[in-house]
A and B are shown apart, each in its own frame.
Chain A
Amino acid sequence: MIPISYLVLVFLFGSVVSYLITKANRIVGAIFNFLLTFYALFVLWNLEIGHTEKLFSILEGVENTFKVSSLGKYFSIISLIVISLVSFFIIEWIRKKPSRPAAFNAFVLIMSAGIIGVFFSNDLLTLYIFWEIAVLGSFLIVPMGKEDSKKAAVIYVVTSAIGSYMYLFATFSIYNKYGILEFDQVSRFLLNEPSNLFKWFIILFIASAGIAKSGIFPLHTWLRITHGNAPDAFSAILSGQLVKMGSYVLAISLSVFPSTKLLASFYSGVPLLNYILIWLGNISIIIGTFMAIRQNDMKQLIAYSSVANGGYILVGLGVMNSIGYAGGLFHVFNHAIAAAMIFLSFAAVVYRTGTTKIDEMGGLIWKMPWTFVTYLVGIISLAGIPPTSGFISKWMIFNALLTKGMFVTLTITFIGSVGSFLYVFRPLAGVFLGQLKKKHYEVKEVSPVMLIPMLVLTLLTLFIGVYPKPVLDFIVSIENSLGIKPIEYSGTIIKTSLGQWDTLTVFTMFAVGFIIALVLYIIFPRGKKVELTDQYTGGEYLFNYDLYHYATGFYRFLERLYDKHPSFEKLYGMLVSFFKSMGEIINELFYKVSPSGYVFWISIVILILFWVRW
Chain B
Amino acid sequence: MSALLIAVPLLIAFLFVPLKNKIKYILPFVALFSLILILKLPIEQVNFLGGWKAPFGITLVLDNSSYYSLIVVNIIFFLLSLIPQIIEKDLSLIFLILMASINGLILTGDLFNSFVFLEITSVAAYILSSSKRNYYGAFKYLILGSIAGAFYLLGTLYSYIGTGSLNLADISKNINSEFLAVVPILIFIGLAVETKIFPLAGWVPDVYASGSALTPAILATGVTFSMMYLFGRIFITVFHGEFLNVVYIFGLITVVVAELSALKQDNLLRALSFSSIAQAGLFLSVISMNSYESLTAGYFHLLNDITAKFVLFIIAASIGKSFIKNKTTGIAFSIASFSLIGFPLFAGFRSKLLILKTAFLNQNYILPIILLFATIIEIAYVLRWNIKLWYPDNILPQEKEKTQKLSWNVNLILLIVALVIIVIGFYPDIYLKIAQNIASGLTNYRAYVTNVLGGM
Contact = CB atoms under 8 A, between A and B. Distances in A.
A579 B263 contact: yes
Nearest to A131: B344
Contacts of B15: none
Interface in B331-370: 338, 343-345, 349-350, 353, 356-357, 360-361, 368-369
B143 interface: yes
A599 B391 contact: no
A99 B192 CA distance: 47
A457 to B, nearest CB: 30
B144 interface: yes
A605 interface: yes
B375 interface: yes
A197 interface: no
Interface string A584-600: 10110111111101110
B200 interface: yes
A105 to B, nearest CB: 16
B202 A592 contact: yes
A148 to B, nearest CB: 11
B147 A158 contact: no
B144 A595 contact: yes
A128 B344 contact: yes
Interface stretch (B21-29, B228-236, B376-384): B376-384
Which of B140, B338, B376, B387 has the most CB atoms of chain A within a 10 A radius of its CB? B387
B383 A579 contact: no
Nearest to B426: A56
Interface stretch (A132-140, A330-338, A478-486): A132-140
Interface stretch (A33-41, A172-180, A299-307, A319-327): A172-180
Given A147-B393, A176-B361, A602-B189, A157 B368 contact: no
Given A144-B391, A168-B372, A591-B205, 19 more contacts: A128-B344, A132-B343, A143-B387, A143-B390, A154-B387, A161-B376, A168-B356, A172-B357, A173-B360, A579-B260, A581-B264, A583-B260, A583-B262, A586-B260, A587-B264, A591-B204, A598-B140, A605-B189, A605-B199
Contact of B380 (A99, A154, A166): A154
Given A136-B338, A605-B192, A153 B383 contact: yes
Interface string B160-181: 0000000000000000000001
A162 interface: yes
Contacts of A614: 181
A267 to B, nearest CB: 32
A406 B184 CA distance: 63
Contacts of B444: none
Contacts of B192: 605
Nearest to A110: B345
Interface of B: 139-140, 143-144, 147, 181, 185, 188-189, 192, 198-205, 246, 257, 260-264, 274, 338, 343-345, 349-350, 353, 356-357, 360-361, 368-369, 372, 375-377, 379-380, 383-384, 387-388, 390-391, 393
Given A129-B344, A172-B368, A602-B147, A579 B199 contact: no
Contacts of B360: 172-173, 175-176
Nearest to A159: B376
Contacts of B379: 157-158, 161
10 contacts: A136-B345, A150-B384, A579-B260, A579-B377, A584-B264, A591-B202, A595-B144, A598-B143, A598-B200, A605-B199
A595 B380 CA distance: 31
A568 interface: no
A610 interface: yes
Given A132-B343, A136-B338, A593-B202, A586 B189 contact: no
B271 to A, nearest CB: 11
B391 A143 contact: yes
A139 B383 contact: yes
A58 B375 CA distance: 21
B260 A582 contact: yes
A153 B334 CA distance: 15
Nearest to A165: B372
A530 to B, nearest CB: 48
A580 interface: yes
A579 B376 CA distance: 12
Contact of B200 (A129, A150, A601): A601
A169 interface: yes
Nearest to A154: B384
Nearest to A155: B380
Contacts of B189: 602, 605-606, 609
Given A584-B264, A613-B181, A169 B198 contact: no
B17 to A, nearest CB: 31
Interface in A380-407: none
Contacts of A99: 391
A612 interface: yes
Interface residues of A, number: 56
A509 interface: no
Q: Which 3 A-B pairs have the closest CB atoms?
A: A583-B260, A176-B360, A595-B143
A587 B257 CA distance: 9
A579 B198 CA distance: 18
A59 B274 CA distance: 31
Contacts of A136: 338, 343, 345
A166 to B, nearest CB: 8
B368 A169 contact: yes
A150 B368 contact: no
Given A162-B376, A595-B140, A612 B205 contact: no
Contact of B383 (A157, A580, A589): A157
Contacts of A58: 350, 353
Contacts of A143: 387, 390-391
A164 to B, nearest CB: 9
Nearest to A174: B360
Contacts of A173: 360
Contacts of B143: 595, 598-599
B279 to A, nearest CB: 16
B375 A165 contact: yes
Nearest to B249: A612
A586 B185 contact: no
A144 B140 CA distance: 42
B277 to A, nearest CB: 9
Contact of B185 (A580, A587, A601, A613): A613
Contacts of A129: 344-345, 349
A586 B274 CA distance: 12
B220 to A, nearest CB: 16
B200 A605 contact: yes
A133 B372 contact: no
Contacts of A594: 140
Contacts of A583: 260-264
Contacts of B353: 58-59
- Among A144, A579, A587, A589, the one with the most B-chain Cβ atoms within 10 Å of its Cβ is A587
A147 B392 CA distance: 11
Contact of B201 (A133, A144, A591, A599): A591
Nearest to A176: B360
Contacts of A598: 140, 143-144, 147, 200, 202-203
Contacts of A595: 139-140, 143-144
A393 to B, nearest CB: 33
B27 to A, nearest CB: 32
B261 A591 contact: yes
Nearest to A142: B387
Contact of B375 (A128, A161, A593): A161
Contacts of A597: 202
A450 to B, nearest CB: 25
A353 B112 CA distance: 75
Nearest to A147: B393
Contacts of A605: 189, 192, 199-200
Nearest to B371: A165
Nearest to B140: A595
Nearest to A587: B261
Interface in A547-595: 579-584, 586-587, 589-595
